[in-house]
């Protein structure tokens, strides 16, 4: 019984580490569904322009009711402010109007002092395009708009992610 118990513990630890660790896998076919979109505050989000300017676009899929999303918000806020020249963050909140309350979303964004734009993914086209089924999910895009990095929590070194994507990794 002890060897089986040990095997299960090791397997669970390996699985949880694999699920929690960032992905730097080969390029995926996932791409933004539209090069530009309208943010919650009315600004236009032009992903192609941000990528062409040499910035890594980081899509932050999150929800106002998601505890881990709220817990990592300060790190994302700091990274967005500190690395504005290299990184362009876009919050993506999926769900139809009956599920996501825009006023509540605006209150939470203001309370968390998130400096980056928030995209309402009303038809879940962004979530489907990147096969996002859980929040938080962070995705950094390559220059061509394809997924280059994915994780469920912020990395220790955002600039390493940026440099890796610029170098084609």
| Structural domain contains residue 100 | yes
| Structural domain contains residue 81 | yes
Tokens 């890594």 sit at which residue?
Answer: 56
Residues of the chain under the 50 pLDDT cut: 1-27
- pLDDT tens profile 97-139: 889 999 999 999 999 999 999 999 999 999 998 999 999 999 9
| Structural domain contains residue 99 | yes
| Structural domain contains residue 108 | yes
Pick from 83, 70, 152, 145: nearest CA to 113: 70
Domain enclosing residue 58, as ranges: 24-166
Phi, psi at residue 46, to the nearest 5°?
Answer: -115, 95
The CATH number given to whatever domain includes residue 103 is: 3.40.30.10
Q: What is the CA radius of gyration of the chain?
A: 17
Confidence (pLDDT) at 144: 84
Provide the domain count of the chain.
Answer: 1
| Structural domain contains residue 10 | no
Confidence (pLDDT) at 169: 63
**Residues 136/61, Cβ–Cβ less than 8 Å:** yes
DSSP string, 14-46: HHHHHHHS-B--S--S-B-S-SEEEBTTS-EEE
Tokens 């918000």 sit at which residue?
Answer: 73
CA pair distance 128, 126, nearest whole angstrom: 5
| Structural domain contains residue 126 | yes
CA pair distance 129, 156, nearest whole angstrom: 26
């Amino acid at each position: 019984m002890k060897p089986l118990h040990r095997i299960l513990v090791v397997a669970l630890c390996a699985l949880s580490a694999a699920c929690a660790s960032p992905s730097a896998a080969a390029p995926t076919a996932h791409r933004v569904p539209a090069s530009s979109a309208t943010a919650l505050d009315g600004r236009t989000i032009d992903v192609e322009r941000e990528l062409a300017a040499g910035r890594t676009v980081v899509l932050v899929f999150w929800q106002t009711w998601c505890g881990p999303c709220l817990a990592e918000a300060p790190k994302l806020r700091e990274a967005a402010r500190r690395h504005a020249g290299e990184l362009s963050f876009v919050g993506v909140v999926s769900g139809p109007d009956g599920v996501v309350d825009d006023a509540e979303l605006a209150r939470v964004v203001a309370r968390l002092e998130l400096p980056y734009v928030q995209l309402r993914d009303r038809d879940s086209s962004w979530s489907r395009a990147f096969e996002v089924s859980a929040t938080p999910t962070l995705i950094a895009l390559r220059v061509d708009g394809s997924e280059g990095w994915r994780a469920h929590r912020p990395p220790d070194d955002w600039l390493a992610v940026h440099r890796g994507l610029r170098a084609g990794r």
